[in-house]
Amino acid sequence: MLFLIDKLLSQQTKYSYTITIQAIVIFVSIVTGAFLSKFLDFAKDMQDFKEGARSLLIALFMIAYMVIMADIFIIKDFVQQYIRNKNRLIRTLHNIYLDEYMNSYNNL
């Protein structure tokens, strides 16, 4: 039982951003592969290509930053609330265990 309680506490405080990071990497790869190579075909000269590529990369970084901030401030809370609700039974057992422990300690 103590193992479950310790695991529960460590699981509730842990949150990883792997899905967000993978989605951003895939999105940036697709967009740069699809559009950056075509900018070279339509650009008049190298300076025009650099300006187009710079504006595309700025837009990509802004989108990636927006997704990361949304994940930190919005999605993370939903995921942690889901984990807390899922582990309600373990928390109830934890409270029962603490009550029994305190009762046995007071009886000594």
Give mean pLDDT, residues 76-97: 80
Residue boundaries of the structural domains of the chain: 2-107
Model confidence, pTM: 0.60
Q: CB count, 10 Å around CB of 58?
A: 10
pLDDT in tens, 9-68: 666 667 677 778 888 888 888 888 887 777 777 878 888 888 888 888 899 899 989 988
CA dihedral 56, 57, 58, 64 (to 10 degrees): 110
Unique residue bearing structure tokens 């650009």: 43
